[in-house]
Each structure stands twice: as structure tokens, then as C-alpha cells.
A and B are shown apart, each in its own frame.
Chain A
């Protein structure tokens, strides 16, 4: 079941069929639902994801008609409409029927498409969007051939039989529905019998508007989903080209074109896909990505070169390597396509007086990082971050080398630590100063066969184990210097008395 939290109460938004069988209904509290069935699992409801999915579906339905519209409403609207959570997509079929062999065929095709996507849906058809929606609220008469999809096409599209339909077919706010219910009004027909004049003062403009939209007295324009064209630049070679320099020049030309367009939009490139097409073999694809949106031709070309080198095509130049070229492609490429797969608005950066160096420095550093990553592969470059933990080996973590500074952890080290830790720690033989509490400092130790005398030892710094992970042992760390002045970081496990070297200060 999907849950949402309102002031400490978790309410069910929707649930699967199995849960519904157990008696779980929307608007119940989670506690009630759990009481009904112990097995149900709750997930937080994310209306934004719903909206996204709906949009994706709408785009899919674009294949039937250019005008596919979603009802515009924001998240807040969603929340108020919770008691009958329905999603609707409007398709303007006008003029497209003949492409699919008539209206009923077309509706059937749409139904089949939805059915094959396993999306339960109801299709209603009428002359106005409002009426079409209303039709979807009509009672079930018989199940059609498709289990998940019900289709309702009235005989007379201009005058669909809406009178007997329930009022929620009008897409009204819950509050108004409630009031109408209190007045004993249950169907559209009953509502239509009331005089028009009496409605607005009592229910506000929306009720009358919905009624009028039903029979087209008021237009309800559908706003089709905007279609964004991908940013692509393409160049077809005359014949095949294998010369890296020619390829690079082409790439530069195309990139310049794209950058011009990007500049108009105020965007920069985060990810660029370069496709090199061939006649008789699969195309090669290069992807370059920048850690910040970029319109810098030089650095982007640098990235391109780096990526291109990875392909190993540069070897094509020399005949020897040509023979060695394992994939044995002796012909070049016929076309080059550049596509911006991820663009991002290029934020205007405020340059503080006298600090422009830093900005440039940052950019240069980012660029180098991008180059290294392109060269070595995304996962090969890591960044070390401090973590809140007393255990030295857990006090840091490696992350992808891309974390903006502000997300970095503000942890501080809890004591003096060597830069590199021995992993795993090396066991030592240690002579210890006698001590009452078994916390004596080391006097001498034996490391890999060599014996060292301890000149001084700081400590102990006592770090207890993470009992919640089953580690109950306590370590006593000493910062130790031997007679040669080398400093070691070693610990004794209090419970076993064993010593380990955990790092060297260098």
C-alpha cells in the first residue's frame, strides 16, 4: 500500500488488490490497515513520481494523435483529491480516426496498447473532453475482450447519456461533492433539473463550468504536451573516413554548431553522445561527460580526444597497428552524430573582486578531473571523505570523485591519525611496561623480524568497539617513536592483549 503522512498519522493512499481483499481501503490509517493484515507493506507515496509516470504514458500515447493532454494540476491539488485518486489523459482523436481505420478501431487499438502495457484503464469517448471523462464513470455493463481495459463509446457522440452518471464524473472538488451529497443530489440529471441561476452563488463558478463543458457550451481547450526536439548535429561523410584528424575536425565543427544553439538556450553540456556510423558494422559510441555544465569548446574537445583515444582507432594511422587492430575494421566511418544527452542550465557565476583566480582554478581542476575520468573510466577515480566514526578504518569513505564541496561531510578527525592506514593491521610482538590496569605503554616491539626500541609513546587513546555490530573489543592506540625517529601508530586489543600496527606517520 502507498502511505502518506499527515501530522503524525500515516494514511493509506492506495493499495494493491491483495490488500484490498483484506479489507484495506484508502483513507485508513496504517495502524488500521496493519490490524487487518499483518503482511502488507507500506511505501511512502510520491505524487511527483505518479505525475512523471503519467507524463511518460502520455508521451507514449502521442503515437495515436498529436494532441495528448494532461489535466494540469499541482501536487497540492493531488493531495486534496485523495479520496478518488484517478489519473486521466485526454486524447484529441479528431482527424486521426481514418489513420487507424475508423473511430472504434482506433479506440480499440489504444485499448490494446494500454492492455499490453498492463495498465488498467477505462476509455471514454465523447464530443467534449468533459463528457468523455464523464463516460469513464459510467457503470460497468459487460466486460470486454481486454481484461484491464474498459471502453465506453456512446452511440451518439454528441449526446452521450450523462444524466444517469454520478456526480463525481464532473471532476469536482471533494468539498462540493460532499455538499451535493448532503443535498441528496446523486446524479448529473438531478443536478441539471436545478435552475442554472441558483448554482454559482452556492457552489462557486466551477460547478456550472463543468456542466457547460459537458455539452460544449463552454470550450475546454486541451493543452498538448510540449514536444522537445533532441539537440543533434549530424555530418555525413562522402565515403568513409578513418583519419582521426578529419574526425576531430568534423567533431569540432559539429560541436561548435551545438554550442551556438546551447548558448541561445543558456545551457551547457553535461553529457554528450558521439555516434560514429559505419556501413557494415555496428556504430561506435563515445560518451563524454563534464562534472559541470560546460560550453567550453577547448575542454570539451580535450574530453573528446581522450575518449577517442580509448577506442584505439588512432592506431588506424599506422599500417602495423592496422593489422593488429583486433576488431579488423578496415573501413572508416560514414557519418558522425553528436547528441546532447544531458544539458543543464549554465548558472551565471558571480565573480568576486580579486577572486576570479579561484573560479578559474576550480574550472581547471574540474576539467582535469573530467579528463582523468574519461581516460581511466568513471569508477577508477575516487575521492576520500571523512565520516563520523571513531574507528579509524571507518572514519572515511571513498566516493565517486564528483561530490560538490557543500555535500561533503564536516567531520573532524578525533585525534592524530596517520595518512595511510595499514589494512589489515599487522600483528606485532610487543614488550609492555608493567601496569596495573593492563594499559601500559609499549617498551619495544618486533616488526617483521626487526626489533625496535620505543623512544617514547603517547597514549593510550582508547576506542571502544561498535557493539551494535557485534564488536565488543576495545583498542588502546599509541603514537610510538622508535630510536631511529620513525613514528608508528599501533594498538593493543584490550581483551586479548595482542598488538597491531595500524599505520605509520610519515
Chain B
């Protein structure tokens, strides 16, 4: 009961205070949505609102994190460019194990560094996402930090001061408080807020009493969780998601009312009219915090130049030396000019250390024999080429160094390097090793709510049944906007007018884009000269051995911190393995592959590209015969054109028509001819989009670059629209027609999804050519490397093997006397591909290595008993081998081998090894023999492929009766013929660009058939279309040049036919 307090009327109206300056206010306790599932506003929203309300300052104090401060800083930059902005104070809320929570604010760069270090300490101790700190930890890092004892954030909402006053109950904490007070002196405050809780009066009283006892001043805050009162609903839902309870049961997990928003300074003054000193204290603290994120200076690591040389000298030496190696005879004038120019610019902008860093990583990879290649805009640089970072010869394509580095942009270049995906971890660990955990870290990636996850979580939080949530989430397939139309709702049996459903939809649309958790970026590494952990907190990743900084790519960009993207690329692994295999015949390096081989282009034009990098997808394959690439530049276009960007921008068909001479090549103006001549007047690359904006619409280089960023930032949907009017106006001013201006903008927006820069396409095209070349000349090695690099690419081993056989490669089954874990090339006069144990389902690598070692030691195996004696393998694993028919070289059929294997015992008796084993197996004859169908199906069941026969061929007689034609005959049939085909379903695809149309590829023993399933047909034959293993498709042939599709009209699931081959198979697929 609040009887203890003198009776008093609260909150009566104060006389309006005089000037505005008296209504100054600084909000120092703000939780943003980067305290995941707590705050209900984006940092920038809070910043804008604070500016609107005329706050003196606003602090960001997220729970044990600095994750959101850069976004707030961005918001600050934007508001301050428009007018007076509140000061942004960087801080955090520390949850301590042995003490009430502390609010902490950084006063200067040094104290900010200590805060980062403290958070790093707490996070490195704990598992990902949590933080373990004690008051002692804080005391060790307290120098220069301002702190306040925070309000409790959970219910029952009681200020820690109340407990501290009952000294007898928490003696220890009280003593710690005295210690804290003595260490911090006047840097400590007691935060209070008036949130209209039931016990406000008591709390304030306690805070004042305690403050008087110890000399700690009170500090007024409003403990803001959102910028606007309307976000209360969302905050409640987030709380429910955090606690995994439906809102009906959330009870005291929620806040009792919606007062935690940014209130106008006048309102805050009224709330604390009896405690003006508490508000004054906030302003004072704000005054003392002078730190701004702008002070963070990124410094490159400096150990990369040898003693006595400046980094620049070192870089230019390396570059020229590299140029001499690259161009053995004589250096083309163009390249040497480029080098000189680039090096000057690099020196001017002080990027030399960055190039050295990348160079160092690439050198390391090379020294370990890890294949790597730069991608992205770095390929625009001759220096990168000479350093060996990228592989696109600048003398072969037009490079645009400005795309890579520009003096105007004032931001570091972006060098992405692809490594073999299986060995990338070695490179990452090298970086950690070299720079240490304190100086290097991986970039974070903020995982945000998108359509499905949003509906799922919101639906669950509002207590919808799981089924319903599922149904709704499913309808969001392919939508990123996160809304479900009313008709869709009705379709799944929900009433759109139902207020409950309305709420779900409303809240879902609000929650979209909210960060949910941090994950790691695919490969961005940050390295610094000084300790990185004093710049940004570093935490553990869920993956062992990885540490991640708290900021993501955009944050890093904003602060001008530089990262190196170390990405993993499956094709590099494959190429590397293929080169090793080829070296047995003819040693060769990747760059020694002869360029522009017409035979290779012939193969590409035939769309004979299973396994070839990038152009193996069905969409690419159907484009190849139309585009008919004949040289390297055509390949670059091929890579760039079959992308959602150009497809949605409607650029593909105009380009094809122009290329095939069906349409004349025209340019809207002479100025644009220069930009577009390479691509026949159709913009295909990002650079061209930028140049159109510059040349056509009069954008400055800076603006064009912003446009490019907007194109790339698909997440901020709509940000590109800001440029719309500006672009159209510019185009019109330069005398272009409105239609053309619109068309161009549409195209540019198309890039917003996915578009390639030319340099990137060129880097990829190199790999396309290299892999095509190897496939053409060394099909066995290529297939072998491809299978050994799985999982990657588009096709499963079965298709790769099939394709290899089609190219005349002999493929041998896995066998204990020949195979290893990986597939091998057996050269016995002619090259044959021996499949490895990796194809056997459920077989482990260690067992494979044991077998190889035993074979080395004891020679060929002769019987199963001897096999077990030599390898010491468990019966279960041997059975797996037997089922996979891997004992054929012992003269054992699958069933006999299995029968014998089953008799083995796992207990090893070394003594019996000496006794020659007596085979008691006179049983084989009683085991029923295996029919071919069973053999094939068991092959599929154990290795997902069969070398014996294609399953469809086994039912061909039946299919003939059903008048089903083999896939190879499709080529001879005219347009619109009604056909029926049957095949195993290889691929099911529903590209986002194809508005619901599903593509499936069927395979029979003679080839493949591509079918197109329109939405209605798909819906009608849903079960068959989605689940059939063996599918019959009836429909009309559609031809387009060499490309043949079947437009499905009827689908039938024939899976039972092949299952019958296997009798009562339980385990096919």
C-alpha cells in the first residue's frame, strides 16, 4: 500500500512552461528492434521521430548489443542533412549476472572501444546470441563510460532500488552498488520512469531515498520500445514470439499499457514536474557524451609490406612483376597504361593496403593449391589481374575501372574472391590465424522477417492453429510483399472480414523487414590494424571456429570499413579436381586452357552442357541454341542474359531478335550508341544501366552509383522509385521520348532483382569456358570431378553419369577392389570412370578410407571374410557395400554377398585369423535370383543410379502398349503434335519470374523431355505433379528452333509401375 507516502495529487496540470529550451529532453533508454523481438521500431524510425519532437539527444541502448547503432547513425545522417537533428548517443543495456541491468553510454572513442571490448568479452564467453557478464567485468572496462541502474524490463515491474533499500535482504548487491558508486563517481545515475504502473510512486520514492543515501542522482527516461504509440500492438506480438506463447496466454509477459513511446519533451516535463533535476540529469549526460560513429576510422592492416618498403612501393612492384608473368612476351600498351593509371588512383586514395590484403589471401590459397578467382567489379581492374586476384584479361574486355574504384565515391572498392567451396574454411582459418580473433571477424547478416516467416510467427503469436498458419504461409509462396489477397484468404477457408485474420495481416505487414536474428554473411571478412573488437563487438557464430562481428554489410559500408568477400564456389572445386585428374595425362593450369576453341563453342551451341558452369540450367540450355555463342564475349552475354533481371526487364527477346537479324539495331541517340553498341542496343549489364542514367538522364556519377545501390538493395523495396521522376525528367530534358524513358527505367528496375555487372559476368564466363573445354576434351575427368564435388550444380550424379556415358565414357560401378571414397579415373588403355563409395547412401568416409588403406596393405580382397579381417569393418557397413553390389570383383552377386556379409560377426578374434576360414555357404542356390528390374531398382535404392539399365526401359513394352513415345523421338515431331511421354522426374522448378508456371524435366532411357505445366493444370494434377517419381505427361509439342517443350495437359503418376519392379519396395527415393 502506498500509505507510506505523503498523500499528494499526481499529475495535475503544470502551468505551461515558458520557452521551448526549457522543454529540452534527452531520451537515454531506447530499445530498438535490434534487441531482437523486444523493440518495435527501427532505429532510424526512432531517430526521425526524435528529430520531429525536437529532442536534444537520443541514445540507443539495446540489450547487450551495438547491432542497431549504425542504422540509427544512418538515420541521424539523413535527418541532420535536412535540419537540426538530436544528438545520437551510442550505448547499450548490459544485463549482468550478479547485478541489476546497467544502461551504459560511451563518452568518447576510447570508452566506446572499451564498451565494444566488454561486449566482445561477454559474447565470446557465451554461445551465439547471448552474453555473459558480471559487474566485475563492467568495472574493469568502466573508464569513461557513463552508467545508470536501469529499470527492470520484465514484470513485475519493480525498480531494483526498492530491493536495494531492503538492505538486509540483498546486502551483497548493496555493497556492490557502493563499490560501483565509488568507482564511477558522478558518472552513475539511477534511471526512473513514469509509465503509469501501479507502483510508480513507490518506485520513485525508493529511487530518491536510495539516491540520497548514496549520492546518486536520478535520471528520467521513458524506457522507449517504439517511436509511436501505435506500435504497442506489434510490441506485444514480438513479446509473444520471444516467449513462444500465444497472446491470450501471454499475461504478465506483456507490458500493462502502451506508454513506452517517444513522448514529446513537454509531456516528459509534465510527468517529471516534481523532479526537474532528473530531466536535467539526462541533458547533462547527453552533453558529456561526445562520441560519434563518424570518429571510427578504419585502418588497414599494415604488416603486409616487407621491412623498408612502403605498402605502395610493394604493391606496385608486385603489380608490375605480375604483369610480366601474365604477359610473357610483351606487355600490351593498353594494359600498361591501365596499370599506371590505376596505381596512381590507388595511391591517391590510399587503398594499397587493401590490395595487399587481398593479394595476401590469394597467395595463401595458391600456395595451398586452392583454386580461386576474383569476381564482381574487381575484374574491372588491371591491377587485380596482374596480382592474380582476377582472371579476366583486361586486354580482352573493356574494363571500367571507375565502376571498381572511383575518387568521387570515396568508398572502398569491393573485391570478392571465390574459392573452392570445400576448402574455403582453410582460407578463413588462415585469416583468423594471421590477424588474430581480436583483429578479424566475419561480417554478420541480419536475418529479417520476410513474408512467410512473418505470417508464421505472427499467426502463432495470435493463437491461430498451426494448420491455418501453415496454409497462410504457403499462400505467400513467391510473394515478398507479404500480403495475401482477400480471394486467396477465402480460398483457404478464412474470412477476410474476420477481425482476427485482419489483425494477423495488419501486424504481418508491419513486422516485415524487422530483424529477427544475426547470422553470418556468406564470406565477408573484416580485418583491421588495431583491435577490431574495439570497433565493434565480436560474437561466436553457431559454426565452430568462426567469430562474427555484429554489423552487416550495409553497416560496414556506411562506416567505410572494408571487407574482403571470401566466397565458396563449387565449380572451382570441380575444376581443381578435374585439373588434378587431367594432369596425369597432360599437366595444365587453369589459365593455360587454350582460348576460343571452336569445337568447344560447337558443343555449347548444341546445348550439350550438362555440368558446365552457369549454362547448365534448363533456361540456359534452351537459350544456347538461340543465342549461339561463338566467342568469349557471347558467353559473357549468355551468362548475363538468363537472369531474372534482364528477363523481367524484357530485354531477352529484343536482344535475340537483333542478334538473329530479325530486327535492325538502332540506338535512341548517338550518345547512347557508345553505351549500348556492345550489346546491340539492349542494356544487359549493370554498368550500362548506370551509364544510361548518366548519359541519358544526366545523373552525376555519384547519383548513378546510388541508383546502382538501390538496384542491388532489393530488401528496401521501393527505394529505387525515388529515382524514378528524376530519371524520367532527365531523359525528357535530353530529348528522349517518354516511352523510351519509361522503358529504360523499367529495365533498370528489372536489375533491382538480379542483374550482373559486366565484369562479374566476364569472370563467370571464364569458368563457363574452362568447364566447357574440359567437358569437351576430358569428359571422363570432368564427370569424375563433378561427382566428387557434389553437392553442387544442377544435376545429380545419375544425370552426370548418363551424360558421361553419352560422351563415350566407360563408367564402372563401385567395387571394393577398385574404388575409393571419390570417383576415380582408371586408365587401362582407355579412360574409364570408376564410381566411388561416396555414392552409396549411408556409407561413411572413414570406412572408405579404411578399405583403401587395407587394400594398399594386403592387396586385392578375395573373400568377404578376408575383407572383414583386413579392414575390421562392422558387419552393418559391409552389408551396405554388399547391397550396393560392391563385391562383384569377388565373384559375388549382390544377394550372395549380402548373405555372406550377414554371417560376419562384429567381435574380432585375432586368433581365428590364422585359421583358414571354411566357407559353410552352400546356400547360395536357395536364394531366389534377382530379376533385372530388381537389380536396377536396388541400384537406385543404394546409389541413386544404375549402370545396368534405365528403369524406364524395363517397362517400355508396357509403355509401348500405352502408346507412349520415347523422349528421343520428340525431335522428329512437328509443332502441336499430341504426345505422351513418361520419365523419371529429374527437376521440378517454379521460377519466380514465370508467374506460377512449373517446369519439370522427365528422363527416360533415350533422353530427356522438358515439360511446361501451367498453373491450372498444376493445380488439377497437384499430387502427380508434386510427388510422382515416374510421371506420364500428355500434351502438345511446342517448338522454338531446336528447343522442344511439351505443354502439359494431363499428368499421371506412374510411380507404382517401377515400384512393382521391386515388388514391395519401401525405399525407392
Residues on A lying within 8 angstroms of B by beta carbon are 22-23, 31-32, 34-36, 38, 41-42, 83, 178-179, 181-186, 190, 193-195, 198, 201-203, 387-390, 411-412, 414-416, 433-437, 439-441, 455-464, 467-468, 470, 474, 476-477, 479, 481
Contact = CB atoms under 8 A, between A and B. Distances in A.
B11 A185 contact: no
A411 to B, nearest CB: 7
A331 B78 CA distance: 98
B252 A411 contact: yes
6 contacts: A32-B1027, A35-B1027, A186-B1064, A194-B927, A388-B251, A468-B462
B270 A458 contact: no
A415 B199 contact: yes
Q: Which 3 A-B pairs have the closest CB atoms?
A: A415-B198, A388-B251, A462-B196
A387 B251 contact: yes
Contacts of A455: 7
A481 B256 CA distance: 24
A412 B156 contact: yes
Interface stretch (B214-222, B329-337, B898-906): B898-906
Given A32-B1027, A182-B938, A467-B233, A416 B11 contact: no
A183 B196 contact: no
B20 interface: no
B1063 interface: yes
A421 to B, nearest CB: 15
B927 A183 contact: yes
A185 B879 CA distance: 16
B866 to A, nearest CB: 18
B247 A468 contact: yes
B923 A411 contact: no
Nearest to B201: A458
A463 B257 contact: yes
B928 interface: yes
Given A440-B13, A479-B2, A182 B256 contact: no
A35 B1022 contact: yes
A459 B7 CA distance: 11
A245 B156 CA distance: 58
A151 B843 CA distance: 46
Contact of B251 (A38, A411, A458, A481): A411
A463 B256 contact: yes
A464 B232 contact: yes
Contacts of A415: 197-199
Interface string B498-541: 01100100000000000000000000000000000000000000
A441 B1022 contact: no
A416 B258 contact: no
B619 interface: no
Contacts of B257: 462-464, 474
Given A183-B899, A183-B927, A461-B198, A83 B1066 contact: yes
Interface in B197-255: 197-201, 232-233, 236, 247-254
A397 to B, nearest CB: 12
A345 B899 CA distance: 54
A456 B898 contact: no
B739 interface: no
Contacts of A462: 195-197, 256-257, 259
A193 B903 contact: no
A411 B253 CA distance: 11
A284 B699 CA distance: 98
B252 A458 contact: no
A474 B929 CA distance: 80
Contact of B1064 (A42, A181, A461): A181
A41 to B, nearest CB: 8
B256 A460 contact: no
Contacts of B988: none
Contacts of B1063: 181, 186
A416 B12 contact: no
A171 B256 CA distance: 60
Nearest to A470: B499
B470 interface: yes
Interface of B: 1-2, 7-14, 155-156, 195-201, 232-233, 236, 247-254, 256-259, 267, 270, 462-463, 467, 470-471, 492, 499-500, 503, 879, 883, 895, 898-899, 902-903, 905, 920, 923, 926-930, 934, 938, 1022-1023, 1026-1027, 1063-1064, 1066-1067
A37 to B, nearest CB: 9
A433 B9 contact: yes
A180 to B, nearest CB: 10
A464 B1066 CA distance: 58
B196 A476 contact: yes
Contact of B492 (A38, A182, A198, A461): A38
A440 B10 CA distance: 8
Contacts of A190: 928
Nearest to A35: B1026
Given A181-B1063, A186-B1064, A414-B198, 5 more contacts: A35-B1026, A181-B1066, A387-B251, A456-B9, A458-B2
A461 B252 contact: no
B355 to A, nearest CB: 47
Contact of A183 (B155, B471, B895): B895
A184 B8 contact: no
B1064 A388 contact: no
Nearest to A203: B902
A23 B503 contact: no
Contacts of A22: 1023
Contacts of B503: 468
A389 B251 contact: yes
Contacts of B253: 388
B956 to A, nearest CB: 24
B248 to A, nearest CB: 7
A236 B259 CA distance: 75
Contact of B196 (A35, A41, A179, A460): A460
Nearest to A34: B470
Contacts of B233: 467
A185 B248 CA distance: 57
B258 A474 contact: yes
B251 A441 contact: no
A22 B1053 CA distance: 13
A468 B248 contact: yes
Nearest to A389: B251
A184 B928 contact: yes
A483 B200 CA distance: 24
Contact of B905 (A184, A201, A481): A201
B927 A178 contact: no
A467 B236 contact: yes
A183 B13 contact: no
A477 to B, nearest CB: 8
B498 to A, nearest CB: 11
A36 B1019 CA distance: 10
Contacts of B254: 390
Nearest to B930: A184
A184 B899 CA distance: 11
Nearest to B240: A468
Given A437-B11, A457-B9, A462-B196, A178 B2 contact: no
Contacts of A388: 249-253
A195 B924 CA distance: 11
A476 B195 CA distance: 12
Nearest to B8: A456
Given A434-B13, A464-B256, A183 B198 contact: no
A57 B929 CA distance: 45
A437 B1027 contact: no
Given A34-B470, A38-B492, A23 B248 contact: no
Q: Which of B11, B470, B926 has the most CB of A within 10 A?
A: B11
